[in-house]
Amino acid sequence: MATASFIVEGMSCDGCVSAIRRALAAVDGVQSTDVNLATGEVKVEYDPQRAGTSSLQNAIRGAGYDVS
C-alpha cells in the first residue's frame, strides 16, 4: 500500500467531504480516505499496482474540486 496527500480547494461542507470520499472510493485500488474539511487535506491509502496519483487527482477533479 502507498499513501498520497493532496490539498483540495473548494470544499465548504460535509457534503463536499462525502462527494470526495465517494469519488475516491470508486477508484480501483483505493483502500481508505481521510478528508479534513478544516485543512483541505485529503489523504488516500491505495494499491499502487491498481491506481496512481493521477487517477486519484482525476477522481477529485471529476467531483468538481481543484486539487494540488
Residue 64: what pLDDT?
96
Phi, psi of 47 (to 5 degrees): -90, 110
When the candidates are 1.10.760.10, 3.30.200.20, 3.30.70.100, 2.170.120.12, the CATH number that belongs to 2-67 is 3.30.70.100
Residue 29: what pLDDT?
97
| 33/18 Cα distance (integer angstroms) | 11
- pLDDT (tens digit per residue) in 8-45: 999 999 999 999 999 999 999 999 999 999 999 999 99
C-alpha cell at 2: 502507498
Task: Indicate the pLDDT class of residue 49, thresholds 50, 70 and 90.
Answer: very high
C-alpha cell at 63: 467531483
| 20/15 Cα distance (integer angstroms) | 9
Residue 56: what pLDDT?
98
Residue 21: what pLDDT?
98
Helical segments of 1-68, H only: 14-25, 53-62
